Amino acid sequence: MLNRFALAAIPAALFAVHAYAAYPAWQEGTTYTAGTFVSYNGHDYKCLVTHTAYVGAGWTPSGTPTLWQDQGVSSGGTPTPAPTATLQPTATPKPTATPVPTASPTAAPTATPKPTATPAPTATPLPTATPAPTAAPTATPAPSAGCYTAWSSSTAYNGGDKVTYNGRNYQAKWWTQNNIPSSNTGDGLPWTDLGACGGVNPTATPAPTAAPTATPKPTATPVPTSTPTATPTNTPTATPKPTATPVPTGTPTATPAPVATPVPTSTPAAYKPQITYITAPAGYPTDAQFSAAETALASQVGTDSSTLARIRAALAVLPDAQVNAVTAGNSNNPDNVKRVERIMNEAKFDSLFPVRNVAYTYVNFLRGVAKFPAYCTTYTDGRDSDAICRKLLATSFAHFAQETGANWPALTPATARTYPAQNNPVLATMDQNTAIPSYKQALWYLRESGYNEGSAVGAYQDCFRGAGSSIFSIFYPCGQNSAGQTLDYFGRGSKQLSWNYNFGPFSKSLYGDVNVLLDNPGQVADTWLNFASAIWFAVYPQSPKPPMTWVVDGTWVPNAVDVANGMSPGFGATVQIINGGIECGGGGAEKSQVQNRIAAYKSFTAELGVTIPANEVLGCANMKGFQPGSAAATKTYLDKNWGYNANNPGGVSWACSLVDYQMPFSLANPGDYKQCVDYMFRGQVKFNGQVVIDNTK
């Protein structure tokens, strides 16, 4: 998902403290699930790790900060008396560690998600040993846990970014800088404690993409997810722009003609926050006036009048009926799918991804491509469409390898065949005892390790709890499983899309309805959305970051701000888009994750017949990231206009303004301007039958 997109992060300054009802009193002998809230001695606490509070163990919420997070003075309820002292057993079972929920992407892409976010994406850990090829096991190889880059007070982190501080791992919920992780965890605070360094499996890649909240403007761009951005130091000398393809002179033409919102927004389930609107007062803008205001703002989006048209073209989608009709070799396939087929047929796909999860099929990939006509599109301005597509595929696959690969040096076909989910027919045709190159181990993970569909342990959730909840929890409301528990939006698919604020925008981009995937997130793993989620991230502009497609095809041309920050076209810039906050900047040698990506990129370009220009910058150690003022920086998001209009009752503006921080409303989506004004001036949010947010006053 995310970088400033719905694969983006929620700035800490914009996040209000949740309002809670009275929670049940903490009791010994009870098993608590991560995310559960209790009251104890006049304070509310949130469970961080699933565990049983064994009688006599003394694991009170106030005395075990590794298990419980203090939420402050209780909003209600009777303080729990301290347990009666008893003899402590000589050996107490250690509580099982459970992934702790963190609030944005892409990463996430390595994010984020998360999902990207993504959202943000992180390196996939290497399994520590090669299991003997015995009877087919049910689990995938367990990656060894590790530590992340040390936290720095001078670095700006985005949602999904992971760091290590004082021997513990932390994940950023949204954009943050100079907030010490150990003292800034919990609801309304920017960090989540993931446990001791080396004690918790890092996610395959958080997505895109976390989402910031309204009002203040963050100085750095938050991401899907998973999908963090960096602001390290060291400004390198400007690198000449690679010349793989001619510089664009116009907007690429997407074929066939896509539609923006194929499905109308549904009514959210009764347990979700319900947005209602009071009757429009006298003098309220008409539909024609809303349309005119939206058109007037279009010229303010970017540096030229075509900016909004380019963004909308990048996000255009094909209706599902046409997508589902795509099959290998079908003469009616869309033009961009036919191009991909010419470059990479099914046999080539099998050879490049021999250990992929069986849900990652060739047809699913073609359908993911079909959904977004801007991916491998036809250019009519002189650029070589096939050459650009080859390079785009090599770039995407290199990131797949880092984000979803097994990264198992000793993995052989014989071993891979013992895993039912990876036992692709092509493995039987390979030398059974020769190790599979790491770049060909991509797409091993379909779901983030340690999670299953229906999981509800409180992970990757920014859910509505009442007044004070983020605006994203309202417009991207969490779904529930059959037991009435809030779903986890852990990493799924080739981008490992994560977080509800990435699943929601992705769902809206595809179907015009956020609830489709928020209520059924498993579709991102089990259908062609497992590839479409990554392709969506590749085409999605995340101001001030360009989409990866614009880096590859030359649409993004660095300006003076970019050059000063060491940004230049090439593979390194795409790493910056996906996971710059963790993997880029700081100077010196490239981080190990980036080295892995570069190695995979070189291998995939060779496989697909792409020549890497001598001056293409492959790494990102000397890049400071995409900053405000970048050539790709735009204003598309919308927030309340607080200005005074003497012609309206009370001087209200009845208008929304363009902003450069993440919001649920975007000028990229026709109709969002009216939705923004309606919500900000006529909207009320009801939860459990009560009005908890009233924008009409």
Contact indicator for 2, 111 with CB cutoff of 8 Å:
yes
C-alpha 271/C-alpha 486 separation (Å) is 10
312's tokens: 């909308």
Q: Which amino acid is at 457?
A: V
| C-alpha dist (Å) from residue 67 to 18, 112, 303, 366 | 20, 25, 50, 45
Residue 403 is among the residues annotated as catalytic for this protein: yes
Of 342, 441, 402, nearest in space to 111 by CA? 402
Catalytic choice (294, 341, 403, 448) = 403
Per DSSP, the residues of 238-284 read PPPPP-SSPPP-SPPBPSSPPBS-SSPPPPPPTTS-EEEEPPPPTTP
Burial of 72 from C-beta contacts in 10 A (0-12 / 13-18 / 19+): middle
| C-alpha dist (Å) from residue 244 to 76, 180, 241, 386, 391 | 64, 44, 9, 12, 9
C-alpha 149/C-alpha 169 separation (Å) is 9
Residues whose CB is less than 8 angstroms from the CB of residue 237 and which lie 6 or more positions away in sequence, other chains included? none
The secondary structure of residue 367, as a DSSP letter, is H
The secondary structure of residue 426, as a DSSP letter, is G
C-alpha 268/C-alpha 238 separation (Å) is 50
Contact indicator for 109, 117 with CB cutoff of 8 Å:
yes
Question: Which residues are known to be catalytic?
Answer: 403
